[in-house]
Structure 1
């Protein structure tokens, strides 16, 4: 089960956007706050949108958009805010990619998150196994979900994920972690059809 710093986070006006994300997402999924701030300041593809209803950080590349963190205010969940936000990204006409915790029956949020993306037309990349490790070296797996306005192969999604690892996850990673967070040659396994 995922461990969150606060299982029932409040959407306090006193909290900044990073605190909101950190109170919701598992610790091992959160980037260092300064790494995220440097991404926003120094990586031309990385951006943040924030309103009273949501916080989203994402990287927009020429052919795809990687949604890094998407968090809807708990008071407005179930009212279409997240779906409208995804439709905003879909309107760009590019493949959208997200990393999602595999559903865990003991963690209702993981199940709801998968259902949310599937309801919005995202499909799981069945052939890509994506395994990273936390600071203690404990491995964890994330599922890759994607949506595309056109037919897209999972091999293209894998190429995009490798770009995401190199450009976003590993952005100044040595400075903040003393290691690469996601070496693209090590974290992915391609499952051939049987």
Structure 2
């Protein structure tokens, strides 16, 4: 799976799914889709009320040419809320800064009321941020939390015990509502 190798080269190891998990999602989960072109690779789930972008990779030679924006605009045309996970900005890692800038430039907001913490295979906790775009500018973050919980349960945890020996993203454990 050449596409898997490309993802694996770009995304941190703790964010990657097992190749067999990907295959199961693509083949057995009706809501999960893979789009691959010479310019980008997109893996996402389409639920009745929202989309969850699992991975978006713009091929290095086409970055900075508006491809990512075109992909997002195509998804926005479906008229559903779009959710995705983004690593927190690390000033020492320019890619994290660029990613956040890219999503913000494309109208995505950080769900600052949602804390999202997962564990890697070694049991180390890492944090991700939930970003969203909504056709309804005033969509409550409580609704975003519910949608993210569904993505965790149905995508990240799909047969996860078989591939990882554990539930990798139990929504009740990894998602927390932050009080202001």
Matched, 1:106 2:54: no
CA distance in 1, matches of 2:79, 2:103: 17
Gap runs ≥5 in structure 2: none
1:189 positional shift: 1.3
CA distance in 2: counterparts of 1:184 and 1:25, whole angstroms: 22
Tell me by how many angstroms 1:59 deviates: 0.1
**TM-score, with structure 1 as normaliser:** 0.91
Cα displacement string for residues 120-174 of structure 1 (whole angstroms, at most 9, x for unaligned residues): 0000001000000000000000000000011311000000011011100000000
Provide the rounded CA distance (Å) in 1 between the counterparts of 2:176 and 2:147: 14
Give the secondary-structure state (helix, strand or coil) at the position aligned to 2:75.
helix
Q: C-alpha displacement at 1:33, in angstroms?
A: 0.5
Give the structure 1 partner of residue 123 of structure 2.
Answer: 137
Structure 1 SS opposite 2:163: helix
What secondary structure, in the 3-state scheme, does the structure 1 residue paired with 2:88 have? coil
Aligned mates of 2:149, 2:122 — CA distance in 1:
23
Report how many aligned residue pairs link the two structures: 179
Tell me the TM-score normalized by structure 2. Answer: 0.98
**Shift of residue 192 of structure 1?**
1.8
Q: Which runs of 5 or more residues in structure 1 are unaligned? A: 1-14
Provide the rounded CA distance (Å) in 2 between the counterparts of 1:109 and 1:47. 25
